Structure 1
């Protein structure tokens, strides 16, 4: 899987800690950036490919504007 899309990701312009928050407020802040990102769909697809059917506790951070819980739900719905 190519990760060339990462060069255009808005998250690359801010510190990575923002996308690994420890609170709901932190996730909201990360999601606001993701909402404007031109490569959000590619990021979401990369997370799905990388994480597969992993349990929520094995997922970390915000990818494509989605929390670990949201990504777990989406992977279950896709199965």
Structure 2
């Protein structure tokens, strides 16, 4: 899977801390950035491929505007 889309990702202009908060932190600002990002769908697809059916506790960060909890739920619904 190509990751060429990352060059156009808005998160690359901000830095990773917003997208990978400390335990107990929130994802709101990251999700706001993702909502405007032109490569949001490619990002979400990349997370799905790399995380597969991983347990929620093995997922971290915002990908494609989705939190680890959201991505876990989406994976279950897709199965």
Between the aligned partners of 2:13 and 2:40, the Cα distance in structure 1 is: 14
Alignment correspondent of 2:6: 6
RMSD: 0.6
SS of alignment partner, residue 53 of structure 2: coil
Gaps of 5+ in 2: none
Give the alignment's TM-score, normalised by structure 1. 0.95
How many residue pairs match? The answer is 77
Runs of 4+ in 1 over 4 A off after TM superposition: none
Are 1:62 and 2:76 an aligned pair?
Answer: no
Give the alignment's TM-score, normalised by structure 2. 0.95
